[in-house]
Amino acid sequence: MKPIVAVALTSAILTAPVFAQDTSVSGPLVLYTSQPNADAQQTVDAFVAAYPNVEVDWVRDGTTAIMARLEAEFVAGNPQPDVLLIADMVTMEGLEAEGRLLAYPEADVSAYDPAIMDPEGYYFSTKLITTGIVYNTAAPFVPASYNDLLRDEAQGQIAMPSPLTSGAATIHMAALTSHPDLGWALYEGLAEQGANPQGGNGGTYRAVAGGEQMFGFVVDFLPIREMANGAPVNFVFPEEGVSAVTEPAAILSTASNVPAAQAFIDFLLSPAGQQLAADQGYLPAHPAISPPAGFPAREDITLMGFDPAEALANADANRLRFTEIFGQ
Amino acid sequence: MPMRTDCGLPRFSANKLTDLIKYMRSGEGLTLAALILFALSLFVFPLALLTRVGLTDGEGFSLGPAIEMLSHGSVPRALWRSLESAGVSAILSLVTGTAIALLVGLTDIRGKAIITFLLLIPMMIPPHVTAIAWVQAMGPSSPVLNTIGLAPPPGSPHPLYGRGGVIALLAVQNMPLVFLVVLAALRALPREMSDAARVSGAGTIVLLRRVILPLLAPTLIAAYALAFIAALGNFGIPALLGIPGRYVTLPVLIWQRLSAFGPSMLADVAVISAILASVAILLVLIQSTLLARTRNALIGPPQAPIYLALGRARSSVEAALWTLVVITFLLPITALFGTALVVTYGLPLNAETITFDNFREILFEQSVTARAYRNSTITAGVAALVIAALCILLARLLAGPKGPARRIGLGLSTLAEITYAIPGLVISVAFILAFIRPIPILDVSIYNTLAIILLAYLCAFFSIALKPISAAFLQLDPALDEAARVAGAGFWARIRRIALPLVAPAAASGAILVFLTAYNEVTVSALLWSTGTETIGTTIYNYEDGGYTTLAAAMSAVTVIATVALMVLLDLMGRRLPPGVVPWRL
């Protein structure tokens, strides 16, 4: 779906570091993923190139649809996939709590920020899709902090995706409301500012780029990609930090081919796997891999502290509180 | 031996079974059997399943689940919004469409043909494209309004999001439907009454109020119902304008639930779909009853149309009509092309920001758009050919002498009209229910393939081609067929040598109309597509929804060009066809 995919594909072929082939792992591997189709195909192709004896059978769908499918399979007692590459840490935390995941504590996560990896090795973040502030260049001021959106000039000028629709917006809400300087007061302030959360990130970006609203919460890659074309927007990584959807990978406790599933995790966390994510236009989770054009260096991006287990426990309460604040 | 007529079932006597077998092996028997099988598997089976899932409680027929669903929450709100948007927009369509039809049909304005053609384009352009175009046209970054300094200031919310915008655009989309129906009725108005009124000294206003409008009354009610049904089933406009404005109608609710939660929601969605389908069918019944009455009342020999001289008012009336053309067609389409040509959404279009990259991207670079064009062309093309072929056979039965075969044919054509009136999203829910599991006996699964989209097209768009083709058949002199039969030509030979050459132009027009509709649709495939089976409509929608506005605009622009080109082709063909075959050639 992304125009950069075609470019990314070419550059992936040209620049992908040669990954030593490992023929010791073999057999079928079933993958469920919510990556965009072209990205999923590239990931599988690169993995099979590295592990030529593994046959990957993959299913791709939206996060909600694939989770619904998985739930149905759990109920029926025959979950198909060996390995998942979907959604966010909160979803994974939920699967972990239900005992659906198999830990892989031997995975090499030494290079990564511990905040985005499960301490017991049940799931592993593979990339960072961050949410910060987008503003139209016609905006009356440049926001530096989330609290700037509560200034009078921003009254009636704020677009945001709804946590009831968007997974990234759910994580963003969990991160902001658990931040000591922001909390629910920020969301209450946004409601008083006339913000009207709705739909997904695409609609928010369109409202800001089209000048209907001046500020918005949005995922990084939409404005960063269009800024290169001269779009009248700018993306801010606010001083409090950004929240991130990390598309974690995890092995199911019912996996039938555990060695191949572990190899898949190893591959995603390897520099080659991370370079692939960067080439697809995402901010890689690995700090040593350079981010795609338009992103600041990885060390300049602050991730907001965020406890997925706590977010999971509070998920319903958070949604309820959100609907009360915004009257939805 | 029983009397054997070729065009009806034999009158059975002693050897009923042998006769039936003999009949069924004849060309006409096979045709009838094939058509019945087609209708049973694609019209009856999916909708019966939908009724079973939607209108039963596990034991028998029950409105329990539907009433439960309607008692609280989002479903009654969405139902009310569907009725409100369809009801109000249909009033607007009715008033404007009738006014324009009266002007074009009864007065001496100039350039009627071109005005008619331009006013009808909005009807053929897919609604989601219309919505995208209007969003570009009216927002703060509108390329058109900015040029003339009328754009809303930055930071003002989009004026079309929400109820007002949904209603306004539905009215624009369906106004041509009313216009066509009223224009056709005007052509058939008996002259005697208006002449009598004239002679008695009635002026234009009195003539209109006391004679023409009362005569048109049943037509107007039928036209209103038509616009209402079309607005009720519309998905593109409420999806693109209603979701951002928190104005969710029933088709959008069905789509949201099913696309967010997958097949686990199917049972709930089936109930909502059954509610929507019931409303649509009820309206069709009302409309067809009224239309049947108007036909009885107004049939007469073709007559010279009534002409009212507008005198000095003529220029201002013409100016008003052209303004309407500019507002309903040129303004949104210009904005659409403006967005399609700009390097990134939000920038004004000028020498520095103009680019053909968006077109290059969607035509040559993106594998998903290439696939969408291929998928839509194949499914729409095959659907057009299959439907045209089946319609020729069905129309042959309908034009035949009275008898069981014709009665069955009439039943099938009524079924086709019902499936056409049922909103596309409901059809697709019914097809998911019917084909989510592998087809028994054959053990082939067509769910998530192009085949399910194709079959749903066959169901939803069948009656589009049937109208022009049966009109052409009814004009054929039965003596031709009789003569060929006497000369010893069999059923297939007569179809091929007599009927086909004569109805071919109408069949081609019907096929083009089906192609145009299927090529542009989004409502049927919105729930049936999956990775690899994207259609043009779903791809445009997903681009717009995902924030890739310039790409959505470029794809929409290509769609508009293709639509207008096909309409011109149809118009050229229509000059040699009986009136009514091409919808806007009366």
Give Dmax (Cα) for chain A: 63
Residues comprising chain A, all counted: 328
- Residue A293 contacts B, CB cutoff 8 Å: no
Amino acid A13: pLDDT: 42
The residue assigned the tokens 């085949």 is B451
Cβ <8 Å between A198 and B157: no
Q: Show residues of chain A in contact with B353, CB under 8 Å.
A: 230
Weakest-pLDDT range from A94-103, B144-153, B162-171? B144-153
- Residue B356 contacts A, CB cutoff 8 Å: no
Half-sphere exposure in the Cβ direction for B543 (13 Å, CA): 30
Asked if B166 and B247 touch (Cβ cutoff 8 Å), the reply is: yes
Strands A127-136 and A215-219: what pairing? Answer: antiparallel
- Residue B361 contacts A, CB cutoff 8 Å: yes
**Minimum distance, in Å, between the CA of residue A198 and any CA atom of chain B:** 7
CA A226 to mean position of chain CA atoms: 19
- Residue B158 contacts A, CB cutoff 8 Å: yes
Q: Show residues of chain A in contact with B155, CB under 8 Å.
A: 138, 156-157, 211-214
Please determine, for residue B117, whether its predicted confidence score (pLDDT) is greater than 90. Answer: no
**For B132, which residue in chain A has the nearest alpha carbon?**
A206
Backbone phi and psi for residue B186, each to the nearest 5 degrees, phi listed first: -60, -40
Instruction: Write the DSSP symbol of residue B157.
Output: P
How many CB atoms lie under 10 A from the CB of residue A189? 18
Backbone phi and psi for residue B515, each to the nearest 5 degrees, phi listed first: -60, -45
Angle, CA of B140, B146 and B148, to the nearest 5° = 140
Instruction: Write the DSSP symbol of residue B328.
Output: I
- The string of pLDDT tens digits covering residues A134-155 is 999 999 999 999 999 999 999 9
Cβ <8 Å between B262 and A157: no
> What's the CA gap between A25 and A326, in Å, rounded?
52
Of A69, A206, A231, the CB nearest to B347: A231
Banded model confidence at residue B170, pLDDT cuts 50, 70, 90: very high
- Residue A256 contacts B, CB cutoff 8 Å: no
Question: Of the candidates B141, B143, B142, B134, which has an alpha carbon nearest to the alpha carbon of residue B161?
Answer: B134
> What's the CA gap between A99 and A182, in Å, rounded?
34
Q: Is B434 helix (H, G, I), strand (E, B) or coil?
A: helix
Amino acid B304: pLDDT: 57
Please determine, for residue B265, whether its predicted confidence score (pLDDT) is greater than 80. Answer: no
Please determine, for residue B205, whether its predicted confidence score (pLDDT) is greater than 80. Answer: yes
**For B74, which residue in chain A has the nearest alpha carbon?**
A328
Please determine, for residue A104, whether its predicted confidence score (pLDDT) is greater than 50. Answer: yes
- Residue A63 contacts B, CB cutoff 8 Å: no
CA B136 to mean position of chain CA atoms: 25
Please determine, for residue A16, whether its predicted confidence score (pLDDT) is greater than 50. Answer: no
Question: Of the candidates B288, B287, B298, which has an alpha carbon nearest to the alpha carbon of residue B224?
Answer: B287
- Per-residue pLDDT averaged across A5-10, rounded? 41
Q: Show residues of chain A in contact with B551, CB under 8 Å.
A: 3
Angle, CA of B448, B428 and B384, to the nearest 5° = 85
- Per-residue pLDDT averaged across B416-442, rounded? 88
> Greater confidence, A250 or A77?
A250
**Minimum distance, in Å, between the CA of residue A227 and any CA atom of chain B:** 8
> What's the CA gap between A154 and A142, in Å, rounded?
11
> Greater confidence, B22 or B410?
B410
Amino acid A161: pLDDT: 92
Please determine, for residue B545, whether its predicted confidence score (pLDDT) is greater than 60. Answer: yes
Banded model confidence at residue B6, pLDDT cuts 50, 70, 90: very low
Please determine, for residue A319, whether its predicted confidence score (pLDDT) is greater than 70. Answer: yes
Weakest-pLDDT range from A136-140, A188-192, B82-86, B347-351? B347-351
Please determine, for residue B194, whether its predicted confidence score (pLDDT) is greater than 60. Answer: yes
A vs B: CB pairs below 8 A: 116
Weakest-pLDDT range from B101-105, B210-214, B560-564? B210-214
Sequence-distant (≥ 6) Cβ neighbours of residue B283 within 8 angstroms:
B225, B228, B229, B232, B421
> Greater confidence, B458 or B290?
B458
> What's the CA gap between A168 and A175, in Å, rounded?
11
Burial group, residue B350, by CB count within 10 angstroms (0-12, 13-18, 19+): exposed
Q: Show residues of chain B in contact with A71, CB under 8 Å.
A: 264
Please determine, for residue B359, whether its predicted confidence score (pLDDT) is greater than 90. Answer: yes
Q: Is B85 helix (H, G, I), strand (E, B) or coil?
A: helix
Amino acid B307: pLDDT: 72
Contacts 24+ apart (CB under 8 A), A291-294: A293/A228, A294/A224, A294/A225, A294/A227, A294/A228
Amino acid B200: pLDDT: 86
- Per-residue pLDDT averaged across B481-506, rounded? 87
> Greater confidence, A85 or B156?
A85
Weakest-pLDDT range from A73-82, B80-89, B96-105, B164-173? A73-82
Provide the percentage of residues in chain B whose pLDDT is more than 70: 92
Backbone phi and psi for residue A158, each to the nearest 5 degrees, phi listed first: -115, 125
Tokens coding A149: 């959106």
How many CB atoms lie under 10 A from the CB of residue B412? 23
Question: Of the candidates B410, B465, B461, which has an alpha carbon nearest to the alpha carbon of residue B292?
Answer: B410
Banded model confidence at residue A284, pLDDT cuts 50, 70, 90: very high
Banded model confidence at residue A14, pLDDT cuts 50, 70, 90: very low
Cite the DSSP H helix spans in B200-312: 204-206, 213-233, 236-237, 250-261, 266-298
- Per-residue pLDDT averaged across B134-144, rounded? 85
> Greater confidence, A53 or B470?
A53
Cβ <8 Å between B346 and A210: yes
- Residue B543 contacts A, CB cutoff 8 Å: yes
> What's the CA gap between B455 and B446, in Å, rounded?
10
> Greater confidence, B248 or B305?
B248
Please determine, for residue B123, whether its predicted confidence score (pLDDT) is greater than 90. Answer: no
Banded model confidence at residue B11, pLDDT cuts 50, 70, 90: low
Q: Show residues of chain A in contact with B368, CB under 8 Å.
A: 1, 37-38
Please determine, for residue B13, whether its predicted confidence score (pLDDT) is greater than 70. Answer: no
Please determine, for residue A10, whether its predicted confidence score (pLDDT) is greater than 50. Answer: no
Asked if A151 and A189 touch (Cβ cutoff 8 Å), the reply is: no
How many CB atoms lie under 10 A from the CB of residue A191? 17
> What's the CA gap between A191 and B232, in Å, rounded?
33
Q: Is B495 helix (H, G, I), strand (E, B) or coil?
A: helix
- Residue A200 contacts B, CB cutoff 8 Å: yes
Amino acid A267: pLDDT: 96
> Greater confidence, A209 or B531?
A209
- Residue A239 contacts B, CB cutoff 8 Å: no
Of A60, A138, A230, the CB nearest to B344: A230
Weakest-pLDDT range from A185-199, B13-27, B497-511? B13-27
Cβ <8 Å between A3 and B264: no
Provide the percentage of residues in chain A whose pLDDT is more than 90: 57
> What's the CA gap between B188 and B502, in Å, rounded?
25
> What's the CA gap between B520 and A45, in Å, rounded?
34
- Residue B329 contacts A, CB cutoff 8 Å: no
**For B245, which residue in chain A has the nearest alpha carbon?**
A198
- Residue A36 contacts B, CB cutoff 8 Å: no
The residue assigned the tokens 């699964």 is B445
Amino acid B4: pLDDT: 42
Banded model confidence at residue B511, pLDDT cuts 50, 70, 90: very high
Q: Show residues of chain B in contact with A202, CB under 8 Å.
A: 544-548
> Greater confidence, A218 or B446?
A218
- Specify which residues A234 forms β-bridges with: A135
Angle, CA of A80, A83 and A89, to the nearest 5° = 120
Strand extents, DSSP E, B369-456: none
Amino acid A19: pLDDT: 54
Amino acid B241: pLDDT: 92
Please determine, for residue B104, whether its predicted confidence score (pLDDT) is greater than 60. Answer: yes
Half-sphere exposure in the Cβ direction for B571 (13 Å, CA): 14
Please determine, for residue B303, whether its predicted confidence score (pLDDT) is greater than 70. Answer: no
> What's the CA gap between B158 and B143, in Å, rounded?
14
Q: Is B202 helix (H, G, I), strand (E, B) or coil?
A: coil
Q: Show residues of chain A in contact with B143, CB under 8 Å.
A: none
Please determine, for residue B3, whether its predicted confidence score (pLDDT) is greater than 50. Answer: no
Amino acid B14: pLDDT: 55
- Specify which residues A128 forms β-bridges with: A283
Q: Show residues of chain A in contact with B365, CB under 8 Å.
A: 3, 6
Please determine, for residue B369, whether its predicted confidence score (pLDDT) is greater than 60. Answer: yes
> Greater confidence, B185 or A173?
A173
Could you tell me the CA-to-CA distances from B396 to B419, B436, B474, B508, B578 in Å, in that order? 21, 35, 9, 16, 17
Amino acid A132: pLDDT: 95
- Residue B243 contacts A, CB cutoff 8 Å: yes
- Specify which residues A244 forms β-bridges with: A130
- Per-residue pLDDT averaged across B214-237, rounded? 89
> What's the CA gap between B224 and B175, in Å, rounded?
10
The residue assigned the tokens 């040559």 is B364
Please determine, for residue B2, whether its predicted confidence score (pLDDT) is greater than 50. Answer: no
- The residue among A229, A234, A328 with the most chain B CBs within 10 A of its CB, best to mutate, is A229
Amino acid B58: pLDDT: 62
Asked if A21 and A51 touch (Cβ cutoff 8 Å), the reply is: yes
Residues comprising chain B, all counted: 586
Please determine, for residue A7, whether its predicted confidence score (pLDDT) is greater than 60. Answer: no
- Specify which residues A124 forms β-bridges with: A117, A249
Q: Show residues of chain A in contact with B546, CB under 8 Å.
A: 1, 200, 202
Three-state SS string across chain A, please?
CCCHHHHHHHHHHHHCCCCCCCCCCCEEEEEEECCCHHHHHHHHHHHHHHCCCEEEEEEECCHHHHHHHHHHHHHHCCCCCCEEECCCHHHHHHHHHCCCEECCCCCCCCCCCHHHECCCCCEECCEEEEEEEEEECCCCCCCCCHHHHHCHHHCCCEECCCCCCCHHHHHHHHHHHCCCCCHHHHHHHHHHCCCCCCCCHHHHHHHHHCCCCCEEEEECHHHHHHHCCCCCEEEECCCCCEEEECCCEEEECCCCCHHHHHHHHHHHHCHHHHHHHHHCCCEECCCCCCCCCCCCCHHHCCECCCCHHHHHHHHHHHHHHHHHHHCC
Amino acid B302: pLDDT: 52
Cβ <8 Å between A231 and B244: no
Asked if A252 and A99 touch (Cβ cutoff 8 Å), the reply is: no
Cβ <8 Å between B155 and A214: yes
Asked if A101 and A253 touch (Cβ cutoff 8 Å), the reply is: yes
**Minimum distance, in Å, between the CA of residue A284 and any CA atom of chain B:** 22
Please determine, for residue A109, whether its predicted confidence score (pLDDT) is greater than 90. Answer: yes
Residue A153, amino acid: E
- Residue A1 contacts B, CB cutoff 8 Å: yes
Banded model confidence at residue B294, pLDDT cuts 50, 70, 90: low
Backbone phi and psi for residue B4, each to the nearest 5 degrees, phi listed first: -125, 110
> Measured between alpha carbons, how far apart are the two ends of chain A, in Å?
30
- Residue A166 contacts B, CB cutoff 8 Å: no
Instruction: Write the DSSP symbol of residue B263.
Output: G
Residue B86, amino acid: A
Q: Show residues of chain B in contact with A69, CB under 8 Å.
A: 262
Residue A183, amino acid: G
Tokens coding B231: 């607005």
